[in-house]
Amino acid sequence: MSQSKDGSQTVVQWEDRGAIAIATIDRPKALNALNLDVLRGLKDLVETKAHREGLRAVVLTGAGDKAFVAGADIVAMQEYGPAEAEAFSLEAQALGEAIERAPVPFIAAVDGFALGGGCELAMACDMIFAGPKAKFGQPEVNLGVIPGFGGTQRLVRRVGHAIAMDLCLTGRMIGAEEAVRSGLASRAVDGSALDAAIEAAEQIAAKGPVAIRMARRAIHEAADSDLRSGLAAERSLFALCFATADQKEGMAAFVGRRPAQFTGR
C-alpha cells in the first residue's frame, strides 16, 4: 500500500492513463475485502476523480492475483449490531449508486474471487470481464445473513428471478463461463481480465462521449421501467444527441471516410 499525505495507508489506488483510469482496491493480504475505509475511499474517488475533464472510462480491479474482492470484511462485521449493520450497508449501497451515477462507464476486471460484497460491487459497474480463475457468488447465507450491498436487487436485474434465487439461497460459486451465460458477466476472457478491460476502456474512449452517456442512461432506464416508458426515454435521449457537436462530427467523419475527432460536446 502507498502512503497518503497524512501518513495513513491508502486502500484504493487511482491511476490516470489519459482518457481512461484504473482504480485498484489495494488490500491483497485481506483478499481486498471491503471495510469502511475501502468503501469511503473508493466512493470519494468516484465522486471526484471520475468527474475529471477528458476521462472516458474507468477500470475497477483488485490488487494481487487471488481476488477482485473476496467479500466484505467479516472480521470487522462480526460484532455489529443491527444499527451498525444498516450503516455499513448504507455506505456500500451509496458506493454502488455513485458508480452508477458517474459520468463515465466502469468496467470491473475480475481475476479471482468476486464473492459477496465483491460480486455486488462488480454488479454496480457497467460491464464485468471475467478471467479464467474468476469465481462469483453471494455466499452470505453461509454466515447467517443476506446480501446487503445491493446483491438481491442488482442480481435479479442481471440474471433474473430463478438464477438469483439459486445463487442467494445456495451460496454456490460460479465460474466465468456460467457467469456470462447467466448474464452476470459481460465477457469471459482467456487471459488477464484486467488487460481485456483496459483494451475495452480504450475502445470506449474513442467513441462519442455524449453518446456513451446517453446510452448508459437509456440502458439504466430499461432496468427500472416498463417497455413503453423505456422507449420514450430512449427516443428523447436519441433526439438530444442531435443537438451535440459530437453527432455532427461523427456523421461528417463517417460520410468523409475519416476518423472522428470527438470533443464530448
Query: Which residues belong to the active site?
Result: 120, 140
Using left for φ > 0, alpha for ψ between -120 and 50, and beta otherwise, residue 183 falls in: left
Q: CB-hemisphere CA count at 13 Å for 233?
A: 17
Residues 157 and 223: beta-carbon distance below 8 Å: yes
Helix residue ranges per DSSP H, 134-188: 151-159, 161-170, 176-182
Q: Which residues of 72-97 are buried (b: 16+ CB within 10 A; e: fewer)?
A: bbeebbeeeeeeeeeebbebbbebbe
Q: Three cell numbers at 159?
A: 440474471
* CA geometry: angle 177, 181, 185, nearest 5 deg: 75
